[in-house]
Amino acid sequence: MAGPRMTVVAALQLATGVPIDRVLAFEDELRGADLVVLPEAVLGGYPGRTPFPEYFHAAVTVPGPETTELAALAARTGATLVVGVIERDGSTLYSTVVFLDPALGLVAKHRKLVPTARERLFWGRGDGSTLPAVPTAAGLAGAAICWENHMPLLRAAMYAKGVEIWCAPTADDRDVWQASMRHIADEGRCFVVSACPYEADGDDPFRGGSVIVGPLGDVLAGPLHDAEGVITAEIDLEEIVEARKSLDVSGHYARPDVFALTVDERPRDGVTFLK
């Protein structure tokens, strides 16, 4: 019989659009975690707060200098970092999550599939080519950004990839977000780590709400409100095995004879050159 598979996961709660030095300042607090999730747009910032040219030039390239610094932070702390950034690619911006491995550096990224409300004025739409499931010391990790967590078919696709650590960088600080995170953990029988921004000042502040949830929907740490900081939880991946005994939505609880989902993971470039 398999024994416990213990790892430590964490969420780092701080403002959006901070200089990378603010992230690096938490190095000591991140040491000892196997995986750390940071909020949506922690580098680059949430849109609509500054003139667009300023916002555009504050975005990061992937890969680029910022991901190099984050990779070095991952190496120093021994933690896989899952970081929300505003990615600049040509003349288009994306809300993106980057995965930084302690040994391998930048290993994957996920671009948000559907920007929400005013975000659509600033961000492009990702495609199915960036839906990774990333092996980490904490378990197999995937990411859904903010209201992507409300997309049932995206959830079904990620559950089918066998995700054990569901990373949810967000800018949603509403109380109902806690219910969504608990539901996803219970539905997917996975651990959920959600990181939300905290900002005390300005006309559009965020109050936080970072939380870690177990595979039966039980809150393990947080929610953290009205402060910067790090929340952590020691988790046992064997709890997923036990939890999925009664509910495996991609396996014995599925009905492929009734329902089918096709996921197109081909890149969708705006222009294709045929030679």
| pLDDT tens, N- to C-terminus, the chain (275 residues) | 567 889 999 999 999 999 999 999 999 999 999 999 999 999 999 999 999 999 999 999 999 999 999 999 999 999 999 999 999 999 999 999 999 999 999 999 999 999 999 999 999 999 999 999 999 999 999 999 999 999 999 999 999 999 999 999 999 999 999 999 999 999 999 999 999 999 988 777 899 999 999 999 999 999 999 999 999 999 999 999 999 999 999 999 999 999 999 999 999 988 889 99
27 has catalytic annotation: no
User: What integer pLDDT is reported at residue 201 of this predicted model?
Assistant: 80
Is 275 known to be catalytic? no
* pLDDT of res. 269: 87
* Residue tagged active-site, from 87, 109, 112, 164: 112
Structure tokens at 216: 């039966």
Give, rounded to a whole angstrom, the gap between the first and last alpha carbons of the chain: 57
DSSP character for 2?
-
CA atoms within 13 A of residue 252's CA, in its CB half-sphere: 5
- Containing H/E element for 27? helix 27-30
Cα–Cα distance, 62 to 87 (Å, whole number): 7
Give the single-character DSSP code of 114: S
Q: Is-catalytic flag, 112? A: yes
Beta bridge mates, 168 = 194
User: What is the predicted pLDDT for the residue at 64?
Assistant: 98
Per-residue model confidence (pLDDT) at position 120: 96
Length of the chain: 275
Residues 52 and 169: their CA atoms lie apart, in Å, by: 23
> Both tokens of residue 27?
């190095």
Contact criterion met (CB below 8 Å) for 160 and 187? no
Degrees, nearest 5: CA angle 19-25-30: 120
Query: Which residues make beta-bridge pairs with 94?
Result: 87
Q: Which of 146, 167, 190, 196 is catalytic?
A: 146
The b-or-e profile of 244-256 (16+ CB within 10 A means b, else e) is beeeeebeeeeee
Q: Are 116 and 128 in contact (CB under 8 A)?
A: no
Q: Of 2, 74, 68, 62, give the one whose Cα is nearest residue 33.
A: 74
Residue pointed to by tokens 């997309």: 151
